[in-house]
Amino acid sequence: MHDRVERFRTLVASQPENPLFRFSLAQSLDAAGDLTAAAEHYRLCAAARADWMMPRILLGKVLLRTGRPEDRAGARPVLEEALALAIAQDHQDPAAELSALLESLA
């Protein structure tokens, strides 16, 4: 797992503006359990493209898993934005998953 993180860190360092490298780094950090770092990179991916649903979904899920109350509170607007994108882009399965997740937070 560590090798994958380092590989994507190197790619991001060489091309920091490449959101796909950054997204892969975020996913590898998430898988390695570095939720804080993963969240930072998911945020940058979401900021890079207003219509990119996946980093928002994964950011919201990471924020829920950190265990910090402030992150949990911050997850709702991120997940709501992801749901709006899922609906607008006609992604039915993610929309259903996000709706259920948001209902569970109520």
Domain count, the chain: 1
**Residues 71-85: what's their mean pLDDT?**
96
Contact 72, 57 (CB under 8 A): no
- CATH code, domain with 79: 1.25.40.10
**Biggest alpha carbon–alpha carbon distance for the chain:** 42
| 99 has pLDDT over 90 | yes
Q: How confident is the model at residue 67 (pLDDT cuts 50, 70, 90)?
A: confident
| Mean pLDDT across the chain | 95
Which two structure tokens, joined as six digits, stand for 43? 């945020």
